[in-house]
Amino acid sequence: MNALEALQRVERIRASRDDDEAAHSMEDDLYRDFITAVASSDHPLAGVAGIVLTTRDIEFSRWYA
């Protein structure tokens, strides 16, 4: 993910702000994709990003509208 892609996705979220559930879902996707990109890089925090991603494997109810 590069800065332009991130900016474009933020603008899509902004354009969807009247649909809370859609905007929230897109925001979650953006965060997940960014953390995934860091985790698969040589960034010093790649290991931490990988740990953060393991929360998706924890079974609990995630609440959406």
What is the tens place of the pLDDT at every residue in 18-27? 999 999 999 9
Q: How far is CA 39 from CA 6, 7, 22, 33, in A?
A: 16, 20, 25, 10
Backbone angles phi, psi at 6, to 5 degrees: -60, -45
Looking at residue 63, its pLDDT comes to 79
Whole-number CA gyration radius for the chain: 13
pLDDT per residue over 34-53, tens digit each?
A: 999 999 999 999 999 999 99
pLDDT band at 17 (very low <50, low <70, confident <90, very high): very high
Residue 62 has pLDDT above 90, yes or no: no
* CA quadruple 32, 35, 40, 45: dihedral, nearest 10: -160
Query: How would residue 4 be classed by pLDDT, with cut points 50, 70 and 90?
Result: very high
